[in-house]
């Protein structure tokens, strides 16, 4: 039987990577995926936490880079769920200019270290997502 429309990768049994690419064109998607992983939330749990204002399909497309410039309202909802500054998400999406490397901002409850740069916070979240991916949830 011939399957039309099935990619070569699927025919050969290979799975597509589920993690978004980490290139500069998808820094936002990588950050969103790391934030969700650090909170140990599924796509559907994020949808529920936003009262269905951000669908799981839409969030998946954000994380994989298929949607690059979502509405700032989406960032407002996600910032609340992920407990990160709204400005961080706006900056990663390109709506705000990047903060100077030396400029430090206060982070409301994100980390015990309250004077992290946006880049430092992103790296810590990425590392936390890695650590949590190795250890099953308690």
Other residues' Cβ atoms within 10 Å of the Cβ of residue 48: 13
Considering the domain boundaries, does residue 8 fall inside one? no
Instruction: Please work out, in degrees rounded to the nearest 5, the angle formed at the alpha carbon of residue 130 by the alpha carbons of 125 and 136.
Output: 115
Domain housing 93? 21-134
pTM of this structure: 0.60
CA torsion 45-94-129-110 (nearest 10°) is -80
pLDDT for position 114: 61
Which residue ranges of the chain lie beneath pLDDT 50?
A: 1-3, 5-25, 102, 104-110
Q: How far apart are CA 78 and CA 72, in angstroms?
A: 10
Q: Return the residue matching tokens 């500069």.
A: 24
Residue 54 lies in a domain: yes
In a domain, 13, yes or no: no
């Amino acid at each position: 039987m011939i399957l039309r429309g099935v990619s070569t990768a699927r025919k050969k049994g290979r799975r597509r990577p589920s993690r978004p690419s980490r290139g500069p064109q998808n820094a936002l998607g990588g950050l969103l995926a790391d934030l969700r992983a650090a909170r140990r939330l599924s796509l559907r749990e994020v949808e529920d936490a936003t009262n269905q204002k951000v669908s799981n399909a839409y969030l998946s497309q954000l994380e994989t880079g298929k949607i690059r410039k979502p509405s700032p309202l989406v960032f407002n909802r996600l910032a609340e769920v992920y407990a990160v500054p709204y400005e961080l998400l706006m900056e990663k999406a390109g709506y705000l200019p990047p903060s100077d490397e030396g400029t430090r901002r206060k982070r409301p409850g994100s980390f015990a270290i309250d004077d992290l740069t946006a880049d430092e916070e992103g790296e810590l979240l990425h590392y936390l997502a890695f650590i949590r991916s190795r250890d099953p949830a308690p």
